[in-house]
Amino acid sequence: MRVTSGVIVAPAPEIVSTRHVERVALGAFPTPLERAPRLEEALGGADVWIKREDLSGLALGGNKVRQLETLMAQALAAGADTIVTTAAAQSNFCRTTAGAAAKLGLHCVLLLRGVPGLPLDGNLLLDRLLGAEIEFIDTKDPYDPAVPQQLQGIMDRLRAKGRRPYLAHVVGTAGAVGAAAYLPMAEELIAQWTARAISPAALYVTAGSGLTLAGLALGLKWLGWRTRVVGICAQMPASFLHPLVVQRANEASALLGLGTAIAAEDFELDDRQIGPGYGMATAEAVEAIELSAQTESLILDPVYTGKCMAGLIAHVRAGRWRSEGPLVFLHSGGTPTLFAYGSDRLDQARAGRQA
């Protein structure tokens, strides 16, 4: 079965209805697929292609743009005039949400984990420039019960002012919609591989919540593609995340009526690049960032894509991929966080100290 719904041509804010989930056109799709010859040479021969999802356009792009096309369609359908969401202070999702809201003429309120005195850099600077109203919550824990309480307070306050707020918080089963939003990326990749007559051995994807991984694993299997989907964990241990990704992929499959079942062995997860923790730069990630920049002018970040590239490099150096066909690396964006780290934190990480 081959569908061609991966490309959105309608201008925002028209709602694009496809065979899949409803979307508002916000990004620049299809994103490019590029070969990385100098990186290949540095890695000693493995063919490497880069899917440039970092070039998806909206407010400096990244993988969250596809998810937001879906969330914003739901918000508009619900008649919302204000988008509310929450995450860490340097969240790419929050920055892209603020961008989507600005582009659609909606108000945006962000509840960010952190304290009001944080330096206005990286994504936080962009949140401000994009016009989002920012509130802080003094916790590091995304599961802190104070988070939903404060979100509820924001929703109540907005409603009391006569606004129609929409909570764009992709947790629990709402994650199925998030995973489904990545299915068109699988279709887009297959169209690009077919056009270039390549049959990749593996697709490397950073796994945060695992929704991108779930959507891609589902899409590739549904379309009968055997490319190995390799998730490199940036946040949660593989033992915890693996069953969640299976569950989200199967929920997305049911939501879209695909009739494809995802099993644990349909993808793999490697959590050896997390280092001291989520958002902490590692020596391996800094090496991957520098190598990608200096060979391909490819700018990665220390939270997600640097760790994913470090995982790919470690697998190549261990001799895992020799003659099976090219490797595809998903550049999922996140570049703005680089500017919130600064060179001293990267230097510390390179020297093996906690950063």
Ligand X SMILES: *Cc1c(COP(=O)(O)O)cnc(C)c1O
Question: Which ranges in the chain belong to alpha helices (H)?
Answer: 37-42, 64-77, 92-104, 122-129, 146-160, 174-180, 183-195, 211-222, 238-256, 283-296, 305-317, 335-350
Q: In terms of C-beta density within 10 A (0-12 exposed, 13-18 middle, 19 or more buried), how is residue 22 classed?
A: middle
Residue 92 interacts with ligand X (CB under 6 A): yes or no: yes
> Does the annotation count 297 as an active-site position?
no
Q: Which of 63, 74, 123, 227 is close enough to bind ligand X by CB under 6 A? A: 63
Catalytic residue, chosen from 91, 253, 292, 332, is: 91
Residue 70 interacts with ligand X (CB under 6 A): yes or no: no
3-state secondary structure (DSSP) of residue 182: coil
Q: In terms of C-beta density within 10 A (0-12 exposed, 13-18 middle, 19 or more buried), how is residue 328 classed?
A: buried
Report the residue number, 136 or 278, with the smaller CB distance to ligand X. 278
Q: How far apart are CA 335 and CA 332, in angstroms?
A: 9
- Cβ pair 108, 133 in contact under 8 A: yes
Report the residue number, 198 or 255, with the smaller CB distance to ligand X. 255
Residue 62 interacts with ligand X (CB under 6 A): yes or no: yes
Residue 305 interacts with ligand X (CB under 6 A): yes or no: yes
Residue 180 interacts with ligand X (CB under 6 A): yes or no: no
Q: How far apart are CA 184 and CA 209, in angstroms?
A: 18
- Omega into 336 within 30° of 0, i.e. cis? no
Q: Tell me the window of 103-111, 159-167, 211-219, 288-296 that interacts with ligand X (CB under 6 A).
A: 211-219
DSSP 17: P
Report the residue number, 140 or 353, with the smaller CB distance to ligand X. 140
- Cβ pair 340, 92 in contact under 8 A: no
Q: Tell me the window of 149-157, 158-166, 203-211, 252-260 that interacts with ligand X (CB under 6 A).
A: 203-211
Q: Which of 74, 85, 123, 209 is close enough to bind ligand X by CB under 6 A? A: 209
3-state secondary structure (DSSP) of residue 56: coil
Residue 304 interacts with ligand X (CB under 6 A): yes or no: yes
CB of 37 to ligand X, least distance (A): 24
CB of 41 to ligand X, least distance (A): 26
Footprint (CB under 6 A) of ligand X, residues 306-335:
332-334
Residue 281 interacts with ligand X (CB under 6 A): yes or no: no
Report the residue number, 122 or 210, with the smaller CB distance to ligand X. 210
Which residues are designated catalytic? 91
Which residues are at the interface with ligand X (CB under 6 A)? 62-64, 92-93, 206-213, 304-305, 332-334
